[in-house]
A and B are shown apart, each in its own frame.
Chain A
Amino acid sequence: MRIDGKPEGLRQSMSWLHTWSGLVLGWLLYAVFFTGTLSFFRDEIDDWMRPELHRSVASAETAQLGLDAMQKLAPNATTWTLSLPNARQTAIEASWREPGAAAGRAGTSRATLDAGTGERIEHRETRGGNFLYRFHFELYAMPRIWGRWIVGFATMLMFVAIISGVITHKKIFTDFFTFRPRKGQRSWLDAHNATAVLALPFHILITFSGLLLLMNLLMPWGIQAAYNGDTGAYFSEMRGNRQAAGGGQGAGGRAQAEPGQHAPLASIAPLLAQAQQQWPRHGVGSITVNAPGTARATIELREGGGSSLVNRGASSTLLFDGVSGASRQPHEALAVSWPRATSNVFTSLHLGRFAEPAVRWLLFLSGVVGTLMAATGMVLWVVKRLPERRKLGYTPKGHRFVEVLNVGSIAGLSVATAAYFWFNRLIPVELAGRGDWEIRGFFTVWLLCLLHPLLRAPRQAWREQMAVAALLFALLPVLNPLTGGASLAQSLAHSQWSIAGFDLMMMALAVIHGVIVWWLARPQAAARPAAKAGVRKSTGEQKSGVLATRESGTAAGTAAGVAGASMALEKST
């Protein structure tokens, strides 16, 4: 796309495509990456944002306490489901269906039970981690369909940016392990390349699976043609319902007909012990009781996590007679067809929907790398144009616009997210619609962060917002016990990993932002002598360097050949 109409090579045109597709949706993609990465810890965030649950401490009797509580809470229900506390959840999440209740979600009643006492816990109204999770694929304050379209479109451009970026970056293999710090634009480019290339499998996976998850919305024509417009049939088959019809739900239905026969439920402890032996790795995740209190009752124990992605991380189950506690034959697992298996592997990875905490951490860290990739790319856009700006002697409006939006969307989102957690604790519990106020607070802070850099020099704006973010994150673990939550010492002592994990993650975020503040406060690069001849002694380093450059130190050993490489790359773009 050259203005002068001269012919251009594939690499130039790809570079053009990469620069502009990256810039146009970069801010949105950054927000999607950021909130999406946090969503890998959605359950932990949910627990932390409901401090009323923090006193719930699991014990060996938790399952029995939960079942006893259900006896009082919903004695006539057709089915109970208890999701037991685990590393990501500190209380029992109970749900049940009353006889004659509406089908699906509408007919399901829910309660949160204290894992130590079995008492029902009334917690504050909050959207919790779900807000960040929803925001990452359907944004907010617009019809869901629009949000999904916008994010879907951005995801498609992200895919375009990945492919064009790989083509543009011709030294992809020779530069594989290369990072050259303190070299302005060169360092930014290295950081952008490293975060993109080294985590490429993750980036491709996450964008491609993101597209798969939104595929039915973006390209519905295939389904409409194959299923003659009956999209319901498609989704049903996708989930394997066609073959699986008549599962656990049937038992509850039959039991409804004969309420007279009362029978006490078998003791759960021996069943749990049996299950524990079978699943030493994941243990029991949830208990489903069908037709509780009747002679036909069954108890189904579900494993705490799946071990394969092919079946969407589905877990295995054990079925027992609800009265005698005798083992029964569970339903046969269904074979998974190849196309569905492929789709399942991608989508369940995207959703992080399986037990292994270490794998989720890997996904989370990869998400952080992706976030850094988006951030370094956008900063690079500005850094790259600094020489042009210097030549002009003034800052073009477009450049200033990008600069301001960079600060507000990158640093500002950190501040807004930290503020969201603060609002969770500071807005009075009894306030009507407080969940919405938390979200309004989030957007107000974000908006202020977008306006703030208009008034400040870019470097100062970066520094101030990063400092605020670091401070807000650092004080969250202190705020937690002061506003009714469990302190880090308590949560660690009681093995409440969801709460402790959140506090520790906030401390880690505080450290990351603090290092960036420290980095920005160092004497500016322009004041130091240039490292090597031939490398731009760019005053660009004034603004360069926020996210990727946590490292300090010398460029020893990597200087050779830098000049040539940087020249070649600059020419190519």
Chain B
Amino acid sequence: MTYGAALLLAFAAFAAIAASMDRHGDQFGMKTQALSSGRILWWRAGGFVLLGVSLLKCLQHWNTSIAIAAWLGLLTFAAMALGLVLTYAPHKARQLACCTAALGALLWLVPPL
């Protein structure tokens, strides 16, 4: 559960960060040029908060040293997954990010096995 929750939340976090980026914002249906810099900042901050939540889940499951190492490993694969989604199914990125955020939050609440 821990891996799942942390991975899904990291994916959603990266999606939020990507949504605030010039290159990827359009893919999430956000016209980044038109948005105020404040809104963009909110998305970015939200992404980093989600990353923190994902780290928190790891810290609950593992000792600090292993948790950080495992979290960094999970981030790699979450980011790669998002990169592939943005390349091959950009129009689904938004829905997918919402789904992973919801599922990640759900798994977050499940006690570790």
Contacts and interface: CB of A to CB of B under 8 A. Distances in A.
A308 B65 contact: yes
Contacts of A310: 63, 65
Interface of A is mostly: loop
B96 to A, nearest CB: 13
Given A201-B75, A202-B73, A553 B63 contact: no
A561 B75 CA distance: 27
Contact of A179 (B3, B62, B74, B83): B83
Given A177-B14, A177-B83, A199 B76 contact: yes
Interface in A474-509: none
B76 A557 contact: no
Interface in B1-49: 3, 14, 18, 21-24, 26-27
A307 interface: yes
A170 to B, nearest CB: 14
User: Which of B77, B83, B84 neighbours the largest number of chain A CB atoms within 10 Å of its CB?
Assistant: B83
A307 B66 contact: yes
B79 to A, nearest CB: 5
Nearest to B77: A365
A201 B76 contact: yes
B79 A362 contact: no
B72 A202 contact: yes
A557 B80 contact: no
A186 to B, nearest CB: 12
Interface in A183-214: 194, 198-199, 201-202, 205
Contacts of A180: 87
A20 B103 CA distance: 46
B86 A359 contact: no
B109 interface: no
A194 B80 contact: yes
A309 B66 contact: yes
Contact of A557 (B27, B65, B77): B27
A174 B21 contact: yes
Contacts of A122: none
Interface in B80-95: 80, 82-84, 86-88, 90-91
B70 interface: yes
A369 interface: yes
B69 interface: yes
Nearest to B85: A177
Interface residues of B, number: 32
User: Which of B26, B63, B70, B87 neighbours the largest number of chain A CB atoms within 10 Å of its CB?
Assistant: B87
Given A308-B66, A356-B66, A358-B3, A179 B84 contact: yes
Contacts of B18: 176-177
B113 to A, nearest CB: 10
A198 B83 contact: yes
A177 B79 contact: yes
A190 to B, nearest CB: 9
Contacts of B21: 174, 176-177
A364 to B, nearest CB: 10
A553 B85 CA distance: 12
Contacts of B14: 177
Contact of B80 (A198, A345, A359, A555): A198
A345 B22 contact: no
A177 B69 contact: no
A323 B90 CA distance: 68
A546 interface: no
A38 interface: no
B80 to A, nearest CB: 5
Contact of B73 (A175, A194, A363): A363
Contact of B24 (A177, A553, A554): A177
A349 interface: yes
Contacts of B88: 551, 553-554
Nearest to A565: B23
A354 interface: yes
B77 to A, nearest CB: 7
Given A174-B21, A558-B87, A307 B80 contact: no
A359 B66 CA distance: 8
6 contacts: A176-B18, A181-B87, A205-B72, A310-B63, A359-B66, A359-B73
Given A356-B62, A558-B90, 17 more contacts: A174-B22, A176-B79, A177-B79, A177-B82, A178-B87, A179-B84, A179-B86, A179-B87, A202-B72, A345-B69, A358-B3, A359-B70, A365-B73, A369-B76, A553-B88, A557-B86, A558-B86
Interface of B: 3, 14, 18, 21-24, 26-27, 62-66, 69-70, 72-77, 79-80, 82-84, 86-88, 90-91
Interface of A: 174-181, 194, 198-199, 201-202, 205, 307-310, 345, 349, 354, 356, 358-359, 362-363, 365-366, 369, 551, 553-558, 560-561
The 9 closest A-B pairs by CB, nearest first: A362-B73, A309-B65, A557-B90, A201-B72, A308-B63, A177-B83, A199-B76, A198-B79, A179-B87
